[in-house]
Chains A and B, each alone.
Chain A
Amino acid sequence: MKSAAPVGALALIAALGAFAALAQIAEADRKSGSAFMSAQTQQMQHDDGTNPGMLSALDGESLWKTKTGGADKSCADCHGEAQTSMKGVAARFPAFNEASQTPIDLQGRINLCRQDQQKDTPLAPESRDLLALSTFIGLQSRGMPTAPPDDQRLTPFRERGRALWSQRMGQLNFSCAQCHEDNWGKHLGSAPIPQAHANAYPIYRLEWQGMGSLQRRLRNCMSGVRAQAFPYGAQEFIELELYLAQRARGMPVETPGVRP
């Protein structure tokens, strides 16, 4: 056993290496949240006649065509048919906004249009109308791969998102990565722990009995680890969304997703 010490040291290095490797799920092992659901819930999502998110998408479709604000313009007046103009758009968000020199997510983009083009007041976060519009726009990218933009200006924000992802927080002192990278597939109580890919938002969550955005889901997890949740629209959320989009690169968009 003369090599015991080096073996021990190697084991330690291997353990550290494994710890570092755990920070990223291999591309072949990536699974959408829907893969962790029961067959009934999957069926509910796949059938547009039973997916309750489609009710919100229909609301969004009528809002798309509704004239509003001081400019008395509808989304369709500038963008035309969403089926063509919005195809693949949701899959590319969050994106860099020239005017503010910061990244914005889809909801932020909708509200910018509302203020600048329609001359109307921004929609409140998680309001029925904002969720409906983002669901409708998201639906136009369904089945397309998540395609975060290769924009160098986004890199520092995305890196901050990556840091937040592995930042321990709250009274329980957990990071996102500890559950969703190191322990996915196991259970938390009776609920399976998914890999937390953000490819189906906005989702209809059965527990909420309604639609919710990715930020609502993130706030949910934050209160789960007993942390003080960031407010809606916080820069930290956009940074996390950027990192999550990068993490889910290439995974098909499922909007509107159904989750238990």
Chain B
Amino acid sequence: MARALVNVPTKVKRGDVVEIKVLISHPMETGFRPDPNGKFYPRDILKSFACTYDSEHVFSAELFPAVSANPFLSFTVVATQTGVLTFSWTDDKDQTQVQTAKIEVE
């Protein structure tokens, strides 16, 4: 599916608040934009994003047509243990793209 850039610090201290930055390529077609013939391009957006930290749900977001193309999200989590962060984006066709990143806690 789409290309995504995930930015997670690899080595952190226990209890640190770490910033996670994710960027994904997606047209985020609103459904309100007419083509040269006046017909609307069909809506095609990512409607939700979720992040789990070792299967614990830590962050999620709903996205709407007003969100720009290639949405960028940034949020923080508390580093509790060495584990895997899983990021998933779901589009209008209910297709989900999943990306993972390891985080090492000292």
Of B3, B21, B69, the residue contacting A50 (CB under 8 A) is: B21
Of A49, A55, A58, the residue contacting B21 (CB under 8 A) is: A49
- How does the 8 Å CB contact mask read for A22-48 relative to B, with 1 for contact and 0 for none? 000000000000000000000000011
Given A55-B3, A55-B5, A59-B3, is A50 in contact with B70 using a C-beta cutoff of 8 Å?
no
Which A residue sits closest to B6, measured CB to CB? A49
Give the shortest distance, in Å, between B106 (CB) and chain A (any CB): 22
Which B residue sits closest to A204, measured CB to CB? B70
- The answer to whether A209 touches B70, judged by C-beta atoms less than 8 angstroms apart, is yes
- The answer to whether A52 touches B7, judged by C-beta atoms less than 8 angstroms apart, is no
- The answer to whether A58 touches B3, judged by C-beta atoms less than 8 angstroms apart, is yes
A58 neighbours in B (Cβ, 8 Å): 3, 5
**A55 vs B69: C-alpha distance in the bound complex, in angstroms?**
12
- The answer to whether B68 touches A209, judged by C-beta atoms less than 8 angstroms apart, is yes
A-B contact count (CB 8 A): 34
Which B residue sits closest to A56, measured CB to CB? B25
- The answer to whether B23 touches A50, judged by C-beta atoms less than 8 angstroms apart, is yes
Of A48, A49, A55, the residue contacting B70 (CB under 8 A) is: A55
Q: Could you tell me which residues of chain A, from 135 to 180, have a CB within 8 Å of some CB in chain B?
A: none
- The answer to whether B3 touches A52, judged by C-beta atoms less than 8 angstroms apart, is no
**Does B59 make an interface contact (CB < 8 A)?**
no
Which B residue sits closest to A59, measured CB to CB? B3
Give the shortest distance, in Å, between B22 (CB) and chain A (any CB): 9
**A209 vs B68: C-alpha distance in the bound complex, in angstroms?**
7
**Does B72 make an interface contact (CB < 8 A)?**
yes
A49 neighbours in B (Cβ, 8 Å): 5-7, 21, 23
B70 neighbours in A (Cβ, 8 Å): 52, 55, 209-210
Which B residue sits closest to A55, measured CB to CB? B25
**A53 vs B41: C-alpha distance in the bound complex, in angstroms?**
24
Of B5, B68, B69, the residue contacting A54 (CB under 8 A) is: B5
Which A residue sits closest to B72, measured CB to CB? A50
Which B residue sits closest to A44, measured CB to CB? B72
- The answer to whether A50 touches B7, judged by C-beta atoms less than 8 angstroms apart, is yes
**A210 vs B68: C-alpha distance in the bound complex, in angstroms?**
10
**A55 vs B24: C-alpha distance in the bound complex, in angstroms?**
8
Give the shortest distance, in Å, between A81 (CB) and chain B (any CB): 21
- How does the 8 Å CB contact mask read for B10-41 relative to A, with 1 for contact and 0 for none? 00000000000101110010000000000000
**A52 vs B68: C-alpha distance in the bound complex, in angstroms?**
12
Query: Which positions in A face B, CB cutoff 8 Å?
Result: 47-50, 52, 54-55, 58-59, 206, 209-210
14 contacts between A and B (CB under 8 A): A47-B7, A49-B21, A50-B5, A50-B21, A50-B23, A52-B70, A54-B5, A55-B5, A55-B23, A59-B3, A59-B25, A209-B68, A210-B69, A210-B70
**Other than the known A52-B70, A58-B5, A206-B68, what 8 A-B pairs have Cβ atoms closer than 8 Å?**
A49-B6, A49-B21, A50-B23, A52-B23, A52-B72, A55-B24, A58-B3, A209-B28
